[in-house]
Amino acid sequence: MNHRRSYLVLVFLAFWALACTGNISGPQDAGQDASFDGGDLKGDDGGDVGDSDPLDPVCPNGVVEDGEDCDGSVPAGFDCRDLGFDSGPVTCGADCRWDTSGCIAASGQCNDGVDNDQDGLTDWQMDMGCYSASDDSEGSPNTQDRQDGWTVFEASPDSRLVYVSSSIGDDGRDGASPAEAVRSMARGIELLRDGQHDFLLLRRGDSFRDVSLGRFKSGLDAERRMVVGSYGDSIERPRLEVSDHVLNHDG
């Protein structure tokens, strides 16, 4: 049997990596990646690509739920340093997300509010060239360059970035920006182009249940792969929950 060669990378920044409750655990730090040679990813119904089925969190209710960083209080000993800043107190905002307005940032390109590499993506929250808030280089001459041991994946000028959020997305949108994020991974995958250096970006802190990537699409080549990454202000990893096959290498 002939198989096409598929170039797919799953990469999540620093402590915002992908986590699964099924048969695969994603990387725990930025730049750690998993490359695959194609195949099917199945949910617990054994079918093809499935929609996410998130539970909407209630804020506040005293319980930290999916899509929330906190719920009314901050854990003892937790401060801005845990979020990549130099110092300062962090509080829990009314939206159950960390409020970092009191944090003092370290000096560096990845937290200065400037699009230093002029790729349209700014700082660690959005720029795939940043492995954390402490990274001093937003840009990288080549995709897959290593910075302090982490591999970074820079988008090409012709890359398509598709944003997905199970908590605030809408599948009626185009996914072209965080404000226009789609809701389900199935819709996000539909918007990716097979054989291109595209990025599927999942909102940090969100959970995606009963997910299947199905027969995933391929990147352009070994250097310009299709990448699954993350975005957003939260330090909580995007979470995929599956109960059956994650990848079928016979696909």
- Model confidence at 68: pLDDT above 50: yes
pLDDT digits (tens, 9 = 90+) for 89-134: 899 999 898 888 888 766 678 878 888 888 888 888 888 778 777 7
**What is the predicted pLDDT for the residue at 201?**
94
Percent of the chain with pLDDT over 90: 21
Mean pLDDT value of segment 9-28:
41
**What is the predicted pLDDT for the residue at 28?**
40
Buried b / exposed e over 93-132, threshold 16 CB at 10 Å, is eeebbbbbeebebbebbbbeeebbbebebbbbbbbbbbbb
- Model confidence at 221: pLDDT above 70: yes
Q: What does pLDDT average to over the chain? A: 75
pTM for the predicted model, two decimal places: 0.59
- Model confidence at 19: pLDDT above 80: no
